[in-house]
Amino acid sequence: MSSTTVSFPKLCLIHDEASLARAHSVLLEARRIVIKVGSSLVTNEGRGLDEGAIGEWCRQMAILIKGEGTGPARELIMVSSGAIAEGMKRLGWSTRPKAIHELQAAAAVGQMGLAQIYETKLKENNLVSAQVLLTHADLADRERYLNAKSTLLTLLKHGVLPVINENDTVVNDEIKFGDNDTLGALVANLVEADALIILTDQKGLFSADPRSNPQAQFIELASSMDPTLESMAGGAGSSIGKGGMITKVLAAKRAAGSGASTVIAWGREPNALLRLAKGESLGTLLWASTLKQQARKQWMADHLQLKGALVLDAGAHEKVFAQGTSLLPIGMILVEGDFNRGEVVSIKGPDGQEFARGLANYSSAEARLLCGKPSQEFERLLGYTGEPEMVHRDNLVITKAH
């Protein structure tokens, strides 16, 4: 379908004026954005890596990262498909194989070219890039999840643009079940992004398949959690990738869980990334009505089973509860239970009553060593220098008056 020659009536599934105003400001206000591009775009429908298209996305990302005429500087992460498709081209395969070992071989061959072209094009725009290969297991295991998060946030802090792909050479989840849309949503959740942009070979989401239904309506705006979207999306992917609109709708729903809205847009739209960042309406916006901070804190507050607790002295209780500060280990008098770094723990006052919850920066074993100790002693006690806070204020929610 050519989105430049066919016109479709537009459909907006959000009718509340206040919600409409907030939804349209999402990309304009977004500071941390995950961008996902599909195989058919990256490889020009399987004909090989599209150097011109990739170079154009890199140019736009450089402008956004530097904040050159587009508002404040943005933090960007690229999730790029294309390794398998490029490997197929290099191996001379015209049809996507079904055998897992052949798909993994194609990914291994293609990943070399994919990393090289992003490195080259980003360097031309004076950007440093980093290749990050993830598996779903990396994001399912809590320790590996936190390590991946720390690495990505450190790269962003130093102005590096991470280019992420599924590690297709060692796993088969993505190969068997879909595209990198899910990975894009998981990365958005991982780094607590404000928005997820999915660039695809379609203009956006339609109420039906526009290639076969002339009555199809283009969906300009909807809630990510609207249950009618999945039936509208269908399930057909291209011969190159294995996604389709259904994986994008489900990815938007997943991203909304951490407060990130999703835009599905045509990847060859001129200056698409720059125009979206300026607040222009392009593609389909699937809006996350829950704000990022609210989503994380609601998730912590809703935990039914907690593996441990931190008991504070009166001074620390006053600072955390009344002043909203981070919790420092020096204010802890007792560590209860057995928990790992990154798990939700209960935070109690000196009387033993819970008044808050938060994400622990240290395991229970480490917390016991740090209990009542100032941060300058952490390296001696642990053998490494970690976070100064036991629970950062951004990862802490007050659960009840105390």
Check whether residue 322 and residue 247 sit in a common domain. no
Q: Residue 391 — φ and ψ, nearest 5°?
A: -140, 120
> What pLDDT sits at residue 9?
61
Check whether residue 219 and residue 307 sit in a common domain. no
CA distance 48 to 33: 27
Check whether residue 376 and residue 242 sit in a common domain. no
Handedness of CA 250, 252, 255, 259 (dihedral sign): negative
CATH of the domain at 384: 2.30.130.10
**Nearest residue to 230 (alpha-carbon basis) of 250, 206, 216, 255:** 250
3 located within any domain: no
Check whether residue 267 and residue 304 sit in a common domain. no
5 located within any domain: no
How far from 100 is each of 71, 170, 174, 175, CA to CA, in Å? Answer: 45, 10, 11, 8
Check whether residue 260 and residue 136 sit in a common domain. yes
Give the end of a domain, one of 272, 290, 308.
Answer: 290
Give the end of a domain, one of 257, 290, 323.
Answer: 290
CA distance 22 to 56: 29
| 185, 196 Cβ separation under 8 angstroms | yes
CATH of the domain at 107: 3.40.1160.10
Give the end of a domain, one of 260, 290, 320.
Answer: 290
CA distance 246 to 395: 32
Check whether residue 271 and residue 319 sit in a common domain. no
Instruction: Locate 169 and state its tokens.
Output: 């050479």
Check whether residue 155 and residue 301 sit in a common domain. no
Tens-place pLDDT, residues 116-147: 999 999 999 999 999 999 887 777 777 788 88
Mean pLDDT of 325-340: 96
Residue 57 has pLDDT above 50, yes or no: yes
Number of structural domains (the chain) is 2
Tens-place pLDDT, residues 65-124: 998 877 789 999 999 988 888 888 899 998 888 888 898 898 899 999 999 999 999 999
107 located within any domain: yes
Check whether residue 141 and residue 272 sit in a common domain. yes
| 360, 396 Cβ separation under 8 angstroms | no
| 284, 205 Cβ separation under 8 angstroms | yes
How far from 258 is each of 39, 269, 292, 344, 369, CA to CA, in Å? Answer: 26, 28, 6, 16, 32
Locus of tokens 């490997």: 87
3-state secondary structure of 214: coil
Domain that holds residue 316: 297-398
**Would you give the DSSP letter of residue 395?**
G
| 205, 13 Cβ separation under 8 angstroms | no
Q: What is the CA angle 85-86-92, rounded to 5?
A: 90
Mean pLDDT of 39-64: 90
Torsion angle in degrees (nearest 10) through CA of 357, 361, 364, 367: -110
Mean pLDDT of 299-326: 88
Check whether residue 249 and residue 364 sit in a common domain. no
pLDDT bracket for residue 168 (50, 70, 90)? low
Mean pLDDT of the chain: 86
How far from 235 is each of 44, 98, 248, 290, CA to CA, in Å? Answer: 21, 18, 10, 27
> What pLDDT sits at residue 353?
93
pTM for this one? 0.79
Check whether residue 375 and residue 232 sit in a common domain. no
